[in-house]
Structure 1
């Protein structure tokens, strides 16, 4: 399997968001949540409606924090939801006829044989992301993991210490994290040229 890359330009992200929002509030929410939380696709797809709602009641209120157990590592993780992620989730959930807490957050249009709701498949999520990227003119290697890598890339380039990203991603060294988020030697070299003292 070929490694995917982060999306390195905010204009490309904005184009993808416009495309996804026009096609499907669900797909827009999935992409936006992935970009803003750095969660793996398996963790995104395992979320329930109850995971993202704040309290009970008839008003739709999105939580400011997710608490989940990562599927890959089994570790507990608390993740803040910024206003961009909360707004995308609210937009999507307003389009849902059914919002029971135990329902899958990202629904497939297909149902199980017994009529119960089915979670969006990983393969379909991949198609959604890749098709939107191609429609946005992105030609680099893209996949569902692109959202997680893009999350790390933009935080690192905004000044978040690599040690924080290592902790978020569960990496053992800064070198692994930098390679993971696609920081190239050329980008590292530019930092020396950009900051003469």
Structure 2
């Protein structure tokens, strides 16, 4: 997955976890584990190709029922598990030819309910930016400005290196190590320049392995995703926006919504900016606009006026 298909280590780890869960379930399902043993303690070291050959499509459906009822997995999580199992068995059947036929070839992916993305209003964006203060103000303001203007993912933000910044453009590395260029508007360029001035005053404390990282912690190491999440949570709280379901990913939604609604950006251009592989993923932002049109129409004072009988 990582070497040939170019999937990220995080995706590979997710597949690994899903397969472990599946095989532990199979041991439990077939009464091959000690009674009362904690699920995570079930050993799968003895799983071999002979055991895998006995797995049927019905077993997988039992597994999906289990993760839904016992582990409360939502449709999106179950769909990821289905994708993992399908890829795994296809690899064993087609690539390694260890199975005579693929038992999950007809396994369907659970339908995922499409919900409108949650995003900050323009007023909320101003409140969030105005709340940024303190010792790391320049760094934190720069990060949140990039989130709100470029619509980048959390992993893309923490992965930015200094050479990736080229005048008014920024190179991002997205899912599957796919690279794309985003343009930096005036606000982003100014925020980056101000932060780099501050950053360069503390170069002596930067760890050698993180010299190229744009965003650094107070200890001189590259910021990790969880640290950025805490920083965003901090300013959401200071601006009175905590407890509303906002997160760094919601800031990405906000950027996309602002560009589509206020900038009238074409959906295909938006797809390029966000780094979406499928246009369908981007089109959810057009539904946001349609929902607002509906709400505006419903607010018409004549909306509930009916003909007198």
TM-score, normalisation: structure 2? 0.50
Structure 1 counterpart SS, 2:218: strand
Larger Rg: 2
Q: Provide runs of 4+ in structure 1 moved above 4 Å.
A: 1-4, 98-102, 190-194
Q: How far apart, CA to CA, are the structure 1 residues paired with 2:296 and 2:181?
A: 32
Aligned residue in 2 for 1:58: none
Match of 1:172 among 274, 278, 282: 278
Q: How far apart, CA to CA, are the structure 2 residues paired with 1:98 and 1:31?
A: 21
Instruction: Provide the alpha-carbon RMSD of the alignment.
Output: 3.1
Aligned CA distance change for structure 1 residues 173 and 103 (closer, same or farther; 3 Å): closer
| 1:59-84 residue CA offsets vs partner (Å, 9 max, x unmatched) | xxxx21112332x1322211111110
* Higher-RCO chain (CA-CA 8 Å, sequence separation at least 6): 1
Match of 1:34 among 147, 171, 177: 147
| 1:22-73 residue CA offsets vs partner (Å, 9 max, x unmatched) | 5521111110011111111111111122322x5xxxxxxxx21112332x13
Q: How far apart, CA to CA, are the structure 1 residues paired with 2:190 and 2:287?
A: 28
Q: How far apart, CA to CA, are the structure 2 residues paired with 1:154 and 1:32?
A: 13
> Size of the alignment, in residue pairs?
176
CA contact (8 A) 1:45 1:119 kept: yes
Contiguous gaps of at least 5 residues in structure 1: 55-62, 111-116
Does structure 1 residue 64 correspond to structure 2 residue 130? no
Aligned CA distance change for structure 1 residues 124 and 155 (closer, same or farther; 3 Å): same
Match of 1:106 among 215, 236, 243: 215
How far is the alpha carbon of 1:173 from its aligned partner? 3.7
Aligned CA distance change for structure 1 residues 98 and 182 (closer, same or farther; 3 Å): farther
Contiguous gaps of at least 5 residues in structure 2: 1-72, 75-114, 300-309
